[in-house]
């Protein structure tokens, strides 16, 4: 099932839920009016109701009013919240958050009813604390992403339009959402990368600004080249030939390294936005300088 089908199915489910909620509101309103009438008649002294029965009616009336108010709040806000989150999180997470929102409101309602029934404030505080902790634990990733969003918009480690690198992901920042930030890769039209904001708190962010992009490449070697110092100098000269800004030239890196896969030349160099084609030219000349040592 694709995303469009999922959204259509969820919209149909929401329509059915809205209809069900409307019927529930009607029923609750009817029961509230009936019980409220009995309560009012007894208060006015027209009918004498035993104290025990009156307390039960009083508690029942508060319960009906509380549930009615919660149901009306859900009826008027749940769908809007669900739609607001459409661009923020996946549909499964939207459903989960909508359920958490519903549970939270009903927990508040239960606390009000228990308070009316005579439960002590200490017990209610403990009850609400346990429930709140459980809900917070269930949506901790969402909370962390929202906190990260607040940090990003206040501290501004990057802005929309900047080119950033987070881990292995690199691209233009096209959106900074409440829970996700969206990157458009430097290559691959129509593609995008959604990174949870909480990840941005855990990983280093390299902000290349809006003027340049840092390109990186690894050229695997079959052996360490002779005169490797001179060859590295030639590669650096090639990079500087294609860069005009003095700061960009100073940031160019070309070194010989090794790992479990063998020897390689590591290249890192900034290029102005719009001049990405120079990367291919630089790599082509670097391969020529190392052609007798490049791993086939």
Give the model's pLDDT for residue 143.
Answer: 75
Q: Are residues 224 and 121 in the same domain?
A: no
100/74 Cα distance (integer angstroms)? 12
150/178 Cα distance (integer angstroms)? 8
Give the model's pLDDT for residue 30.
Answer: 74
Q: What angle do CA 121, 116, 103 make, to 5 degrees?
A: 80
Give the model's pLDDT for residue 87.
Answer: 63
Average of per-residue pLDDT across 144-152: 80
Q: Are residues 98 and 166 in the same domain?
A: no
Lowest mean pLDDT across 25-39, 106-120, 153-167: 25-39
* Confidence (pTM): 0.44
Q: Are residues 167 and 251 in the same domain?
A: no
Q: Are residues 174 and 238 in the same domain?
A: no
Contact 66, 30 (CB under 8 A): no
Residues across the chain: 296
Tokens for 134? 């459980």
Q: Are residues 196 and 266 in the same domain?
A: no
Share of the chain above pLDDT 90, in %: 0
Q: Are residues 118 and 162 in the same domain?
A: no
Domain for residue 19, yes or no? yes
Q: Are residues 218 and 183 in the same domain?
A: no
Domain for residue 149, yes or no? no
User: Containing domain of residue 202, as a range?
Assistant: 157-207
Q: Are residues 25 and 134 in the same domain?
A: yes
Domain for residue 29, yes or no? yes
Average of per-residue pLDDT across 10-30: 63
78-119 pLDDT, tens per residue?
777 666 666 665 665 666 677 778 888 888 888 888 888 877
Q: Are residues 81 and 117 in the same domain?
A: yes
Residue 15 has pLDDT above 70, yes or no: no
Pairing of strands 262-272, 193-196: unpaired
Closest listed residue to residue 173, CA positions, set 152, 159, 190, 187: 159
194/212 Cα distance (integer angstroms)? 22
The CATH code of the domain that includes 164 is 2.30.30.60
Average of per-residue pLDDT across 159-174: 81
125/114 Cα distance (integer angstroms)? 11
Contact 200, 166 (CB under 8 A): yes
Domain for residue 17, yes or no? yes
Domain for residue 119, yes or no? yes
207/212 Cα distance (integer angstroms)? 10
Q: Are residues 245 and 267 in the same domain?
A: yes
Provide the 3-class DSSP secondary structure of residue 53: helix
Domain for residue 283, yes or no? yes
Provide the 3-class DSSP secondary structure of residue 176: strand
> Predicted confidence band at 17 (pLDDT cuts at 50, 70, 90)?
low
65-79 pLDDT, tens per residue?
888 888 888 878 877
Q: Are residues 57 and 19 in the same domain?
A: yes
Residue 231 has pLDDT above 60, yes or no: yes
In this predicted model, which residue has the larger pLDDT, 201 or 239? 239
Give the model's pLDDT for residue 2.
Answer: 42
In this predicted model, which residue has the larger pLDDT, 281 or 185? 281
Q: Are residues 216 and 194 in the same domain?
A: no
Average of per-residue pLDDT across 20-35: 71
Average pLDDT, the chain: 76
Lowest mean pLDDT across 94-98, 156-160, 178-182, 205-209: 94-98
- Single residue among 179, 207, 235 that ends a domain in this structure: 207
Give the model's pLDDT for residue 262.
Answer: 85
For the chain, what is the domain count?
A: 3
Average of per-residue pLDDT across 9-28: 61
24/64 Cα distance (integer angstroms)? 11
Helices 91-116 and 121-138, packing angle to 10 deg: 180
Domain for residue 52, yes or no? yes
Contact 236, 254 (CB under 8 A): yes
Contact 84, 48 (CB under 8 A): no
Domain for residue 8, yes or no? yes
Strand spans (E) along 115-233: 163-166, 169-176, 180-185, 193-196, 205-207, 212-220
Tokens for 76? 């008027």
151/149 Cα distance (integer angstroms)? 5
- Single residue among 190, 207, 224 that ends a domain in this structure: 207
């Amino acid at each position: 099932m694709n995303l469009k089908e999922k959204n259509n199915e969820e919209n149909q489910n929401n329509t059915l839920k809205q209809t069900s909620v409307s019927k529930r509101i009607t029923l609750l309103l009817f029961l509230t009016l009936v019980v409220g009438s009995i309560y009012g008649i007894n208060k006015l002294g027209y009918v004498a109701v035993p104290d025990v029965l009156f307390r039960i009616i009083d508690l029942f009336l508060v319960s009906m009013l509380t549930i009615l108010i919660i149901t009306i709040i859900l009826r008027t806000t749940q769908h809007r919240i669900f739609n607001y989150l459409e661009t923020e999180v996946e549909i499964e997470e939207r459903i989960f958050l909508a359920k958490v929102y519903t549970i939270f409101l009903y927990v508040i309602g239960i606390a009000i009813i228990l308070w009316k029934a005579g439960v002590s404030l200490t017990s209610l505080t403990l009850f609400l604390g346990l429930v709140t902790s459980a809900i917070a634990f269930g949506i901790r990733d969402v909370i962390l992403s929202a906190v990260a969003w607040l940090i990003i918009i206040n501290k501004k480690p990057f802005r929309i339009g900047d080119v950033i690198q987070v881990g292995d992901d690199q691209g233009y920042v096209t959106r900074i959402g409440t829970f996700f930030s969206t990157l458009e890769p430097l290559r691959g039209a129509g593609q995008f990368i959604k990174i949870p904001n909480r990840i941005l708190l855990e990983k280093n962010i390299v902000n290349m600004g809006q003027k340049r992009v840092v390109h990186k490449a690894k050229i695997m070697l079959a052996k360490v080249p002779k005169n490797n110092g001179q060859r590295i100098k030639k590669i650096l000269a090639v990079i500087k030939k294609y860069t005009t800004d003095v700061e960009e030239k100073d940031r160019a890196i070309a070194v010989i390294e090794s790992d479990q896969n063998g020897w390689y030349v590591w290249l890192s160099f900034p290029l102005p936005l719009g001049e990405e084609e120079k990367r291919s030219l630089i790599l082509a000349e670097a391969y020529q300088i190392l052609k007798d040592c490049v791993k086939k």
